[in-house]
Chains A and B, each alone.
Chain A
Amino acid sequence: MKEILDFIIFQLLDKATVFLGIVAFIGLWVQKKSWSEIVDGVIKTVIGLLIIVIGAGTLLGSLGPVINILNSSLGVKGVVPANEAAFSVAMATPMANNITMTFLLGFGIHLLMVFLLPWKIFKNVYLTAHMMLFLSTFLNLSLPVVIGLSGTPLIVVSAFLCALYWTLTPGITRVIGREFLGDDLTLGHHQQAGAYLASRVGKYFGDKSQDAEDLELPPSLAIFRDNTISMTILMALIFLGIGIAVGQPAIAKLSGKNNWIIWLVLNGFQFTAGIVVLLSGVRMFIGSIVPAFKGISNKIIPGAVPALDSPAIYPYSPVGAMIGFVSSVVAALVVMVLLIVVKSPIIVFPSPIIMFFDGCAIGVFGNKYGGWKGAMYAGFISSFLAHIGCVFLYPLMGPVYGSGLMFSNIDFTLIWLPFLYLLKLIAPMLGLV
């Protein structure tokens, strides 16, 4: 008997891929899906997860050596904040199972909280499974560093904190976005506190009547909406920047007979290729998980408003989003230069996620509350804070610290950074450590 149990626990359930496959199976089976749909969902979940790990290998293979040389030769730690990448690194470690458990338990507690809370503004269901996995990962990495949690308590505490965040914050964007989003959707993309900041900044610095939508932006900017294109250009530049900072001789040790500049650019491309692979895995996996989640929540909380990822709100103010993106890029460069100038031990490179996903969402809210100037100031301030925040959050990332990768959204800085540092401060007083 014990052998059978051990086999089930250590050979099957301990493998995140098998575990999530089983979860997908149960989710689809409970919804009375047909056999063909169940097979499709289970296989796509398992293969999707495996693709994520392959993507992680590719992007670490390109970024790792370059970041290591930067770290050792200049005595700093360089980091590119990029959710997907940091997540995939963690998923390739044995903690993958804890992350999955946190995610599932957290979603359960979240549904319960939404069900129990009487206020209408909290009747939202968080449906961005990828973002939920990122937050589960973030807490599973940081809580052991901050208060030394591990094992089951770590999973339970992380799941509870996730659920609290998923339940309360979409209420913020539901209220401040009601005027233009109606009660059709709200934001669930780690920018909800950021959106509140954007609405305040917009109101303070801008003028609502100067709507960004009246402006004409150069149509060529549209190509940057293509994630692959912006990421390719950005990563090539970051790799070149690092290469120039550490100098030709150091890079030549890595590049061998290849020209060092060409080698750096190609490595930047390879990083993007890793992200594209990774995303195709996430897409496959998310495509089977989210409908299951939506089915469950429809049954328990009919009429709940979906909390969605930020691109869902860009159509409400596409020009505002573009302005937010552009000013976020400027802020990202300012932070990088600033950190180099003040000789910070941690250098944060411009994050594609903060600049694009945060920048655009913040731009929409900035514009709605303060016109184009509101979008511009909000994008700048939010991106500035999100990048600076990484300096303080990166050391809390446990096994991911030092990989050169890190999570990236404004709410990590606005909500989780003060929370974690406060926890670190009061934990000894409460006897938690």
Chain B
Amino acid sequence: MKILCLCGMGLGSSLIAKMNIDEILKEMNLRATVETCDVGSIRSEKADLYVTTRELAANIPAENAAKTVILTNFVKKDEIRKAMEPVLRQYIK
């Protein structure tokens, strides 16, 4: 499974998100590749699950909307866990 974290440039906040998601996956004992990407390259980067913030939600192409998790914040690990846990369990069986 591949998870893609998206932010404007793909090098700041998405990287923090990646590190947090990596830790959450480890805690849940799940395996997945987490990568970062800028929002402009989303069409060329295929993933099973996309993670982004509220502010960029409008930039997600419609065909990916169903597999996108929208967070208010890439920093609060608890919030990320709450939003991601059910989705991750569903994807990784």
Contact A309 B73 (CB under 8 A): no
Which residues on the B side are within 8 Å of A127 (C-beta)?
Answer: 16
CB distance from A66 to the nearest CB of B (A): 25
Known contacts A222-B59, A308-B12, A312-B75; A318/B54 CB under 8 A: yes
Interface centre among A223, A225, A291 (most CB of B within 10 A): A225
Q: Would you call A47 an interface residue if the criterion is a C-beta within 8 Å of the partner chain's C-beta atoms?
A: no
A395 part of interface (Cβ distance < 8 Å): no
Find out whether the CB atom of A286 lies under 8 angstroms from the CB atom of B15: yes
A291 to B10, CA, bound (A): 15
A287, B36: Cβ atoms under 8 Å?
Answer: yes
The chain A residue sitting closest to B12, CB to CB, is: A309
A283, CB-defined interface residue at 8 Å: yes
A314, B10: Cα distance in complex, Å = 14
- Which residue of B19, B59, B74 is within 8 Å of A226 (Cβ)? B59
Among candidates A279, A287, A315, residue contacting B55 with C-beta atoms closer than 8 Å = A315
A282 within 8 A of B: yes
A307 to B20, CA, bound (A): 15
Residues of B within 8 A of A189 (CB): 12
Chain B residues within an 8 Å CB radius of A315: 53-55, 72-73
CB A121 to nearest CB in B, in angstroms, measures 17
A-side contacts of B73, CB under 8 Å: 184, 315
Residues on the B chain within 8 Å of A130, using CB:
11-12
Complexed CA–CA distance, A306 and B55 (Å): 20
A283-B36, A306-B75 known; A312 and B58 CB under 8 Å?
A: no
Which of A128, A227, A282 lies in contact with B40, CB distance below 8 A?
A227
B76 contacts chain A at the CB level, 8 A cutoff:
yes
A219 close to B (CB within 8 Å)? yes
Main secondary structure of the interface of A (DSSP, over half): helix
**CA–CA, A311 and B56, complex, Å:** 10
Known A312-B16, A312-B75; judge A222-B58 contact (CB<8 A). yes
Cβ contact within 8 Å between A286 and B11? yes
B13 within 8 A of A: yes
| A282 lies within 8 A of B11 (CB) | yes
* Interface residues on chain A, size class: 20 to 34
Q: Which A residue's beta carbon lies closest to that of B15? A: A290
For chain B, residues 23 to 53, give those with C-beta under 8 angstroms from any C-beta of chain A.
Answer: 36, 38-41, 53
Chain B proximity mask over A273-299: 1 for CB below 8 Å, otherwise 0: 000000100110011001100100000
Q: Which of A166-189 contact B (CB under 8 A)?
A: 184-185, 189
Q: Flag whether B9 is at the interface (Cβ < 8 A).
A: yes
- A282–B15 Cα distance when bound, in Å, is 12
Q: How does the 8 Å CB contact mask read for A122-145 relative to B, with 1 for contact and 0 for none?
A: 000001101000000000000000
Q: How far is the CA of A185 from the CA of B15 in the complex (A)?
A: 14
CB distance from B90 to the nearest CB of A (A): 25
Closest Cβ neighbor of B8 among chain A residues: A311
- Of chain B, the residue at the smallest CB distance from A310 is B12
Which residue of chain A is the closest to B22 with respect to CB atoms?
A291
Of the residues A225, A282, A294, A310, contact of B39 by C-beta under 8 Å: A225
CA distance A185 to B12 in the complex (A): 13
**With A127-B16, A184-B73, A312-B16: A225-B56 Cβ-Cβ less than 8 Å:** yes
Of the candidates A185, A279, A314, A318, which one forms a contact with B38 in the assembled complex, judged by CB atoms under 8 Å apart? A279
Q: Mark A299-328, 1 if CB is under 8 A from B, else 0.
A: 000000010111110110010010000000
Cβ–Cβ < 8 Å partners of A219 in chain B: 58
Inter-chain contact B59/A225, CB cutoff 8 Å: yes
How far does the alpha carbon of A308 sit from the alpha carbon of B12 in the complex, in Å?
7
Asked if residues A225 and B8 are in contact (CB atoms below 8 Å), the reply is yes
A294-B59 contact, Cβ under 8 Å, with A279-B9, A311-B7: no
- The reply to whether B56 and A185 form a contact with Cβ atoms under 8 Å apart is no
Interface centre among A185, A225, A286, A311 (most CB of B within 10 A): A311
Chain B residue contacts of A229, Cβ below 8 A: 40
**A228 neighbours in B (Cβ, 8 Å):** 38, 40-41
Contact A283 B75 (CB under 8 A): no
B78 CB → nearest A CB, Å: 10
Tell me, in angstroms, the Cα distance from A317 to B93 when the chains sit together: 37
Which residues does chain B contribute within 8 Å of A222, judged by CB atoms? 58-59
- Chain A's closest residue to B42 (CB) is A226
Contacts A309-B13, A321-B55 known; list 11 others, CB within 8 Å. Answer: A189-B12, A225-B8, A227-B9, A283-B10, A283-B36, A308-B13, A309-B11, A312-B75, A314-B8, A315-B53, A318-B54
- Could you tell me which B residues sit within 8 Å of A by CB distance? 7-13, 15-16, 18-19, 36, 38-41, 53-56, 58-59, 72-76
Interchain residue pairs A-B with the least CB separation, the first 4? A309-B12, A312-B13, A318-B55, A226-B40
